[in-house]
Amino acid sequence: SGPWPTLYFSELHYNPASVQGSDSEFEFLELYNPDSSAVDLEGWSLSEGLSFTFPSGAVIDAGGFVVVTAHAVTYSGLGYPVYDWGSGGLHNSGELLALRAPDGQVVESVTYSDSGDWDGAPDGLGPSLERLFLSGDPSSPDQWSASINVGGTPGAINSLWVD
């Protein structure tokens, strides 16, 4: 086991706008692999707010993204890997999300919110919450901002990427 490659939560669409559709169809989170090698995701899991384990054959390409969503059909066929987390969803008021390697080690975690210093636009107004920096505390509001695009940029570089 380990050392494990570092993967990042890069985008959260936790409360899509009503005009986009229901939360259960359009919520997603995105993971990013900045490494120069692909990562086999079999056995990796999301825990805390969601419970999901990546299946056999799941891979995140070098410099690539994967999208995990409540309704994979919404985002499938668009040129990036999409996985369905099954049941549950992302809390509209915020929560802790953790990405665990196959041995259970937390590789990345983030606690997001819809209040305080967090950008309020992703909370039902259309944008997603996009990560700006890979360095620093991922649970700090200044690491994140509302996407320029309604619905965000699933499976693609963020509209406001700084790092």
- The CATH number of residue 145's host domain is 2.60.40.1260
Nearest to 97 by CA among 109, 85, 107, 86: 109
Q: Does 2 map to a domain?
A: no
Structure tokens at 149: 């695009």
Please state whether 72 falls in left (phi above 0), alpha (psi between -120 and 50) or beta: alpha
Which CA distances in Å does 55 have to 22, 59, 121, 162?
26, 9, 33, 31
In a domain, 129, yes or no: yes
Q: What confidence tier does 2 reach under pLDDT thresholds 50, 70, 90?
A: low
The answer to the question of residue 16 being in a domain is yes
Q: Check residue 70 and give its pLDDT.
A: 86
Overall number of domains in the chain:
1
* DSSP-assigned letter for residue 73: H
Please tell me the least confidently modeled range out of 6-15, 120-129, 154-163: 154-163
What pLDDT is stored for residue 163 in this prediction?
A: 59
Q: pLDDT at position 162, please?
A: 66
Q: Is residue 119 part of a domain?
A: yes
Determine the structural domain holding residue 26 and report its residue range: 8-150
User: Distance between CA 65 and CA 57 in Å, rounded?
Assistant: 15
Give the mean pLDDT of the chain: 91
Distances (CA, A) of 104 to 22, 78, 95, 108, 112: 32, 31, 19, 11, 22
Residue 3 lies in a domain: no
In percent, the amount of the chain with pLDDT more than 70 equals: 97
Question: At 160, is the pLDDT very low, low, confident or very high (cuts 50, 70, 90)?
Answer: confident
With respect to residue 66, please indicate whether it lies within any of the assigned structural domains. yes
Is 56 inside any structural domain? Answer: yes
Q: Is 116 a domain residue?
A: yes
Which pTM value belongs to this model?
A: 0.93
Percent of the chain residues topping a pLDDT of 90: 65
Q: Is the pLDDT of residue 23 over 80?
A: no
How much is the pLDDT for 49?
A: 81
Per-residue model confidence as pLDDT tens digits over 27-82: 999 999 999 999 999 999 998 888 899 999 999 999 999 999 988 888 888 889 99
Confidence check: pLDDT of 1 > 60: no
